[in-house]
Amino acid sequence: MNSALRRLLLHLPLLAVLPARADEAAYDAVLPATPRSLPRDHGAHPGHRIEWWYITGWLERDAAVPIGFQLTFFRVRQPAHDANPSRVAPRQLLFAHAAVSDPARGRLLHAQKIARAGFGLAEASADDLYVRIDDWHLARQPAPERLLAHIAADDFDYTLTFAPTQPVLWQGEQGFSRKGPDPAHASHYLSWPQLEVSGRLRIAAATSAVRGRAWLDHEWSSALMPEGAQGWDWLGINLDDGGALMAFRMRDADGHALWAAATVRDAAGDRRYAPTEVGFAVRRVWRSPRSGGAYPVELEVSVGGRRFVVKPLFDDQELDSRASSGAIYWEGAVTVFDGARRVGRGYLELTGYASALKI
């Protein structure tokens, strides 16, 4: 396939052909007690409405301050095109975000891609983790088990290898993660914390060997957000003692929690916490000079009887994805403290602050 055709198929104006919202019956349902199976569930679930593979972490470089990185691939099903015989019908859309949080710049470096699946240019395997748009990819290698990622943008690129150090963590009840009082609002959700990272990172003209720790989230769902939801706050932390912390809340327009949940992995095992046991309190807000979004970049998160203070690597980690997913949100590297003691590092995601999030 020649390069001109490749560019055309990757960059046709996909958003202009998105159909109106499909009937819920067109999608596979998310149900409790659905059997889970690996490595199959690392792969795509094309019958569901939306799915994402989200990997974040902190990278160390010799003689330089640590930085954060993020890579997310999304898959969106468009059932209105199922009967369209055209090979270019966008039945499945793929898009991706990549970013680097470099304190030396004080602002995200980020890039994004969007494409329809097919033609060997963009795909999400249903057998195992292999998702790709052009030369960006995230894949699982079975033996020895590793995750492999590569992205290349104008200002930065990275090629990273992720070695598991512990098993997958199924969120919710065996992977059934509720997002509201009505169990119809739920996702299937797995995390893979404490991934050991090695590889290479380029920022501008400087290339460095890197090492660090990362976290993978994989979710697939067919539900929209609960009625009244403005967005969500999500936290994924690799704890310094080898454990893991995930907490989230769904918020209304006034900032009140409509639903919340958390999971903690430690030496005693995996413990899951109900909405009444999870709290988010705002300590400090940063306002974006571009979008006007007021983001609570410093939080106190309570899980059970424990309180964590969350502080950003730097404030301006806003990501504008209007050229792909359509949202403006804050997604950044954070450090977590218990009192004055650092207890972990990871990522915080804040959506629906620049405008209500639409799914």
Asked which of 74-88, 270-284, 291-305, 332-346 is least confident by mean pLDDT, the reply is 74-88
Where does residue 134 fall: left (phi above 0), alpha (psi -120 to 50 degrees), or beta otherwise? left
- Check whether 14 has a pLDDT greater than 50: no
Percentage of the chain exceeding pLDDT 70: 88
List the structure tokens of 331: 């997604």
- Check whether 332 has a pLDDT greater than 60: yes
- Check whether 290 has a pLDDT greater than 80: yes
Percentage of the chain exceeding pLDDT 90: 78
- All structural domains of the chain with their residue ranges: 37-350
- Check whether 18 has a pLDDT greater than 50: no
Q: Which CATH number fits domain 37-350: 2.40.370.10, 3.40.640.10, 1.10.1740.110, 3.30.420.40?
A: 2.40.370.10
pLDDT the model gives residue 7: 44
Q: How confident is the model at residue 12 (pLDDT cuts 50, 70, 90)?
A: very low
Where does residue 119 fall: left (phi above 0), alpha (psi -120 to 50 degrees), or beta otherwise? left
Determine the average pLDDT of the residues in 101-126.
92
pLDDT winner (highest mean) among 20-34, 70-84, 243-257:
243-257
Residue bearing the bigger pLDDT, 233 or 359: 233
pLDDT the model gives residue 357: 64
Closest alpha carbon to 192 in 211, 210, 219, 173: 219
- Check whether 91 has a pLDDT greater than 60: yes
Predicted TM-score (pTM) of this structure: 0.91
- Check whether 11 has a pLDDT greater than 50: no
Residue bearing the bigger pLDDT, 100 or 89: 100
Overall residue count recorded for the chain in this entry: 359
